Chains A and B, each alone.
Chain A
């Protein structure tokens, strides 16, 4: 049944999210071409021509950045809206009367959402690379030679194929944790008799505050027992390393998954 659930999640999401990714690709190509043309004028001896070209490049870059952010945020909001309506809205009456395990429902939704978020992140990363003048031929070479993998940092000394793969795995675990955090917040919010959407926001903020407190306490402990400036830096940067990021990602994913499952299995409240 998991495969069938994923098939229908995919069918419900691709018609909006695939064009959204294509919009980002088109925007980046258009911005890249426009910038290249404008750069030729920037070098001209006519100062007015150069000034206008500079303004044009600035406007293009700002429009590009705003458009990409809008598409990404819009895509994420659509995924959240889709989760809410199909699980706890009117469509939930069909979903929760299907003869399928609740684990399958959650996993299908999480996998399809994670696919789209990672796809959008990858497309935006490649798009930014192109717009900022990177050599696209060396894109993947640059990934494995670089230091940052979404929010994960790999230092020069640790840089090898294994750490790069683990950094990417930790980043993916972080994406799953975020998806499950939203799912758990919406699930707990629907237990409220009134103002279910507001309650969901409230739970999301409460989870974020608790996470910040926990991570802050770990930072304080590291700083308390740290030696010198490097230890102090570790206190602020520890969660950017792949090992703790992976542990935290898996921990949060599991915790929020269990909350979501518990609500769906034992506390469902489609009033």
Chain B
């Protein structure tokens, strides 16, 4: 089966600054993949191009064999690194919004996860704490039966207890035939769930390998190996 994501010579420049440099990358189906790199390494740029929020300067990206567009967006469930919901909307209105636009959205699954967090459906988003808003977004994203989940820094800026909840929610709810691409620089927290890792630095792919393969070949954890590779 063809990879879910194929990047061929993908380049993105912001003025004179190169954010992605000739990236060639294939992401296989049914894997949990960590996109790992320090701040400013190009992780978010790659994710935005995948979701059609940015256009590449050169090269090509295919998702499920086609360029990002209306069709690919129906198969990608994307969690950005910011709050993208209208603050004055109620939680139940946001659930209705997702149900209206995404045919693969599972309403019962969303309400079940919200109930476990004791988030009331009639609560307005603006009245929730920052951490709760992030959890609501994650619940919405993970309530879809997508082929590709793209999660940009899902555990950045939240307390350790919330990190555990988020990682548990991701692992417990994703479609087993789907791929999860999870970008982060907090490797230790996510290492246990990763099948594969992609190291990215200054817009170039340094390494793509299985997490177990790194542990076996290098004799150390992915987190330790990451710290050595990216040491200042």
Partners in one complex: yes
Main secondary structure of the interface of A (DSSP, over half): loop
Partner-A contacts on B (CB < 8 A): 14-15, 48, 51-55, 70-71, 73-74, 76, 78, 80, 82-86, 93, 97, 100-102
Q: Mark A112-131, 1 if CB is under 8 A from B, else 0.
A: 00000000000000000000
Q: Does the CB pair A99–B53 fall under 8 Å?
A: no
Q: Does the CB pair B80–A98 fall under 8 Å?
A: no
**Of the candidates A98, A99, A193, A266, which one forms a contact with B55 in the assembled complex, judged by CB atoms under 8 Å apart?**
A266
Q: Does the CB pair B55–A100 fall under 8 Å?
A: no
Residue of B nearest to A98 (CB): B101
Q: Mark A62-90, 1 if CB is under 8 A from B, else 0.
A: 00000000000000000000000010001
Is there a chain B Cβ closer than 8 Å to A94's Cβ? Answer: yes
Q: Add 11 more A-B contacts to A90-B83, A98-B101 (CB < 8 A).
A: A4-B101, A93-B82, A94-B85, A96-B53, A99-B71, A99-B74, A100-B101, A193-B14, A266-B55, A268-B54, A268-B55
User: What B residues does A7 contact at CB under 8 A?
Assistant: 100
User: What A residues does B100 contact at CB under 8 A?
Assistant: 4, 7-8
Give the distance to chain B from A107, nearest Cβ to Cβ, in Å. 15
Give the distance to chain B from A24, nearest Cβ to Cβ, in Å. 23
Report the separation of the CA atoms of residues A212 and B54 in the bound assembly, to the nearest whole angstrom: 34
For A, the interface residue count at a CB cutoff of 8 angstroms equals 25
Q: Does the CB pair B86–A99 fall under 8 Å?
A: no
Q: Does the CB pair B86–A97 fall under 8 Å?
A: no
Give the distance to chain B from A242, nearest Cβ to Cβ, in Å. 38
Q: Does the CB pair B101–A99 fall under 8 Å?
A: yes
Report the separation of the CA atoms of residues A99 and B80 in the bound assembly, to the nearest whole angstrom: 16
Residue of A nearest to B103 (CB): A99
**Of the candidates B14, B52, B93, which one forms a contact with A96 in the assembled complex, judged by CB atoms under 8 Å apart?**
B52
Q: Does the CB pair B52–A97 fall under 8 Å?
A: yes
User: What B residues does A193 contact at CB under 8 A?
Assistant: 14-15
Report the separation of the CA atoms of residues A91 and B86 in the bound assembly, to the nearest whole angstrom: 7
**Of the candidates A91, A100, A266, which one forms a contact with B84 in the assembled complex, judged by CB atoms under 8 Å apart?**
A91
Q: Does the CB pair A99–B85 fall under 8 Å?
A: no
Is there a chain B Cβ closer than 8 Å to A142's Cβ? Answer: no
Give the distance to chain A from B212, nearest Cβ to Cβ, in Å. 32
What are 21 A-B pairs with beta-carbon distances under 8 A?
Answer: A8-B100, A90-B82, A90-B83, A91-B86, A93-B84, A96-B51, A96-B52, A96-B53, A97-B51, A97-B53, A97-B73, A97-B76, A97-B78, A99-B70, A99-B102, A100-B101, A193-B15, A268-B55, A269-B54, A270-B53, A271-B14
User: What B residues does A49 contact at CB under 8 A?
Assistant: none
Residue of A nearest to B78 (CB): A97
Q: Does the CB pair B85–A91 fall under 8 Å?
A: yes
Report the separation of the CA atoms of residues A28 and B71 in the bound assembly, to the nearest whole angstrom: 51
Is there a chain B Cβ closer than 8 Å to A220's Cβ? Answer: no
Report the separation of the CA atoms of residues A41 and B53 in the bound assembly, to the nearest whole angstrom: 65
Residue of A nearest to B48 (CB): A270
